[in-house]
Chain A
Amino acid sequence: MTLTKQVLAPADLQDPATFSAGIPHGAFAEMRARPTLSWTPPSGGDRTGFWSVTRHAPVSEVSRDTDLYSSAVGHIQIYDIDEDALSARASMIDLDPPVHTRLRRLVSSAFTPRHVQSYETAVRARIAERLDALMQAGGGNWVEAVAAPIPIGVICDIMGVPESDHDYMIELTDHLVAGTSSKPLEAGAYGNTTDLRLLPFNSPAAHGINEYARALGERRRAEPADDLITKLIEAEVDGERLTDAEFTNFFRLMVFAGNETTRASMAHLALHLVDFADQFERLRSDPSLMDQAVEEVIRYSSPILYFRRTLTRDTVLQDTPLRAGDKVVMWYAAANFDEEVFDEPLRFDVTRPLRPPNVAFGGGGAHFCLGAPLARLELAVLIEAILSRGIDLRLAGDPVYVDSNFVNGIEHLEVEVG
């Protein structure tokens, strides 16, 4: 195959700097307009390049076909890792059905819309506490004051992590994401002795989380509680208990996924409140628009920029011939602004129809975000609490984005409230 310049991705999608001011809408629009997928040649230590999927329909197609587009072969991030590293890290997110599904079913009932309603009172209390403190202070770093502590508090409650350890979990997960970036890491941080390439995001913080999970698991083994840690400790899959690695990998995935993503959308929400104030006025006058407003915040934030799949056989996707072993990267942050699906995609619109759905939680299928109902609840309660308090938010500085090509997060956002 001859690769012409039109096929090459117009931006370095592996460089966190490409995402340092948020989603690179221009590059993604250019890629969506092409008849075929875009190609990025190998760089760094990687032996193979990757295909980028930027339109909505093929992202859904790749998401739903787990036989053809595997999560277990290769890696779900762009960079390759060795076979032993892959198996050392594997949690359900890096597995295919049916193994994936057996693991997911251990926890999925805790996250159905019906079950999630039972968390609402606790979520409301956490949000009230944080907003009241921010108002009293007259402002501060929105991320530290609101966006970070709320989701970690909620997921830690569900997991069974004591309140006194929530700050430690925030610290550890912060360092985990830093591992996807170009920032240097201290290999021995958190007492790490494991080879970094065996750890998720190559981060010693993953070791810290594993150790924490192990200790908490021991406590629950001795003294069971009504929480997910106990459930995982006691769970049997095909008649066998989870191994130590399966348990710690599961815990780490839940803490990371339940925290980092909702935090990112809550951080972006502050920008939306300022930039699109008219839309929130509209919501205030018509609270029946809440579900649509929440989806619009999620679409516009697209907290997870991409996940990768690896081809198990040759196929053709969007008129592009693909071969077994090829990497296919689903850029959710691009598909969520597909002009063919979302009318004037850069317009923030709380009246946007719920269908077709955005792909911020994934394009559907086995790996669709487990925590989607919980994230939606947390955002709805937060927006409602902000509107009912009449909080007038003003930016007191530019947002500082997380240095990553994987998470569309905000590290720091100084605000004033009135």
Chain B
Amino acid sequence: MSADLVRVAVDSERCIGGGQCEMLEPEVFLVDDDEAISSVIGSGELPRDRADVVVHRCPGAAISIVEPQRPSE
């Protein structure tokens, strides 16, 4: 993972299916048509600034940034 990419995660219990994440980052989020719960598709990686926007736009406060683990030196 390159330094400026972070991984995002959805808390499915908090997700209210507002779909803001899917609208902002359709490559990373998909809201299921039946359950209306968002999930991360693919690698779930986003540049940090775009990840911050998604986190803040989520009305359910269900999206978080998973801090990358620093490789031990």
Contact = CB atoms under 8 A, between A and B. Distances in A.
B32 to A, nearest CB: 7
A109 interface: yes
Given A108-B36, A368-B59, A101 B16 contact: yes
Interface class of chain A by DSSP: helix
A359 to B, nearest CB: 11
B26 to A, nearest CB: 8
B59 A112 contact: no
A98 B12 CA distance: 12
B61 interface: yes
Interface class of chain B by DSSP: loop
Contacts of B36: 104-105, 108-109, 112
A112 B60 contact: no
Contacts of B56: 355
A101 B60 CA distance: 11
B19 A366 contact: no
Nearest to B22: A114
Contacts of B18: 108, 112, 368, 372-373
A113 interface: yes
B5 interface: no
A364 interface: yes
A115 interface: yes
A112 B31 CA distance: 8
Given A104-B16, A368-B59, A112 B22 contact: yes
A188 interface: no
A105 B19 contact: no
A372 B59 CA distance: 11
Interface string B29-70: 001111111000000000000000000110111000000000
Given A108-B16, A108-B36, A112-B31, A365 B60 contact: yes
A357 B19 CA distance: 16
A373 B19 CA distance: 9
B59 A109 contact: no
Nearest to B38: A112
B34 to A, nearest CB: 7
Given A112-B17, A113-B19, A105 B37 contact: yes
Given A105-B37, A109-B32, A368-B59, A114 B17 contact: no
A64 interface: yes
Nearest to A367: B16
Contacts of B16: 101, 104, 108, 366, 368
Interface in A83-114: 98, 101, 104-105, 108-109, 111-114
Interface in B1-35: 13-14, 16-20, 22-23, 26, 31-35
* Ranked 10 nearest A-B pairs via Cβ: A112-B19, A368-B59, A108-B17, A113-B23, A108-B36, A109-B36, A113-B19, A364-B59, A105-B36, A109-B33
16 contacts: A101-B16, A105-B17, A109-B17, A109-B34, A109-B36, A112-B17, A112-B19, A112-B22, A113-B23, A114-B19, A114-B26, A355-B56, A366-B60, A368-B60, A372-B59, A373-B19
Given A98-B13, A112-B18, A364-B60, 7 more contacts: A101-B16, A109-B33, A114-B22, A362-B59, A364-B59, A366-B16, A368-B16
